[in-house]
Structure 1
Amino acid sequence: MKQFEYQRASDPREAAHIAAEASARFIAGGTNLLDLMKLQIETPSKLVDINRLALKSIEEVDGGLRIGALVSNSELAADERVRRDYAVLSRALLAGASGQLRNKATTGGNLLQRTRCGYFYETTARCNKREPGSGCDGREGFNRILAILGTSEACIATHPSDMAVAMRALDAVIETQKSDGSTREIPIAELHRLPGGTPQIETNLEPGELITAVRLPKPVDGVHLYRKVRDRASYAFALVSVAAIVRMEGGRIAEAKLAFGGLGTVPWRDAAVEDALKGETPSDQLFAKAADILLKDAKGFGENDFKIELTRRTLPAVLHDATRGES
């Protein structure tokens, strides 16, 4: 680990100002950043400790919830209001990582965690996300866990977060503090960037911009499900995951909100899939059609080809349970 400067911030505005230089990083739980620093994948000249900021509350705002960026994953998953009104989020959090990590990991940090692609972590491998312009060994290498949607010639790394998938289905809004003293709100659909030719730029945050809270809208009625298919039952990243909120009326699907993990380079959502389900009577044919729409642009790279067929089985299974009111 290389030498760095450490500084504690007293308020969000000061934190953003201190971290405005390109090589500075915020640190809260540190569950991802410290590992990257040990491997010298991240080599910040300065760490800005934000743990003392007043960003640890969960408040009811405008009929929804405002979640401070420093609320731990364990606290958020256990909150009575989240379990009651945003069950898909609680279930996604409990499906991620171990209990010890959830105790340290924060809401803001979870949104910004970096890929677990093996080539990103292997510093002797070619990785455009770690070293722009070097190439992508994942395309022709061991790519079993990597993405089949939203990929580019430069990168096929999967976004790892379970929480962000549920947040995407819930239409969360991200509140931030910028280094110039201003604030802004970012719909979660606009937070993460597709890799394109610049996979090293993973979000639309500006240098020094600090996530201060995540706001959830009014609760959405219906069945909330989070289905995570993985290699083992604990501490494994998703091969395919589905966050689903489905509301039925008169035997038809009145509304379906669906987001996907393990498939995309960002937390994935496809409005065309939801539109195809709305107003329809549940059936095997309808669910297969939804999977076809989702996967129309999917591309496997050899070892991850199975994800296409796995998704064709997982999505209909989730929709079957959701439309029957099973959780």
Structure 2
Amino acid sequence: MNKGRRIRDGLALARALPDRSLVTMVAAMSLLASLTFTGAVGARSLSDRWAKGAANLVTVQVPDPDKATSAAGRGASAATRVQAVLANLEAAPAVMRAHRLDGAELDRLLRPWIGDVGTAALPLPAVIEVDLAPGQTLPDPLISTLKTEAPGTLIEKNDDWRAQLHAIADSLLWCAGLATLLVGVIGAAVIGMATRLGLGARRESVTILHELGASDGYVAGRFGRRVAGLSLVGGLVGTLVSLPPIAVLARLMAPLAGGGSAEMGNMHGWWGFFTESLSSLMQGSAPQALLIGLGCIPLVVTLIGWVTAQVIVRVWLRRLP
């Protein structure tokens, strides 16, 4: 036998395994896994950002804001209760900004509940938005002073909202993890069926090789390498196909995450929006965890294919008479 001639063992796995159908199925599974993982990362990112913003925002409600203040303090020179509260808040080192909502802002906030009736005739409390410095909270002495000078003052720290946001994000992560696990199980089942079809198609050749002394590891390795190669191709195709919709979704969600605007116009605008979204994703604008996860999906699919083929072939060989 010539040294340069390739040694063939007769398995001919290129004809035994259903290449196109296996690659297509694995690509579909990879696409679903990519979209599911993207949804989980997006939910977690939005939750963290909104919760962080809520942690630095405090809402103060002052009833009967135009009444005179009832105690002496930092706002003693103020004529009304709301002026005294604002004076105390603005003097606090932890407060970066204290803004009282005017009538137009209150009308805009309450319009979904009261319609266009307006708030001018309603006995509403004064609402003050307080922006705290990062990592700061309103000190207890300041809260006591506010409630002393303006009895009935309510301070909402948004802790309940933060807890709800984290609970929603955690539930979405669990759902995404379960969906990803289900996709992996279905993918393993599909790869297992394809491997069994390949074994059935080459049953005679595999049996002869096994009787001639070929080890289980050799035969399983041949099938494992072939299935792993096809799985890698399918994983790459599915992940690449997922990039355009992921880029568009990331661009649409950018305003919610504190990014830029996402405006679209006519068909030319749609195409420009799409190309800009894809270019932004390729330049690394997406969260690093998302890019790393998407890069790992083809590798994970390849590992699943190799392990599944190895197990199926070894079990099949052990059952031979």
TM-score (norm 1): 0.19
* Bigger-Rg structure (1/2): 2
Q: More relative contact order in 1 or in 2 (CA 8 Å, sep 6+)?
A: 2
TM-score, length-normalised on structure 2?
A: 0.19
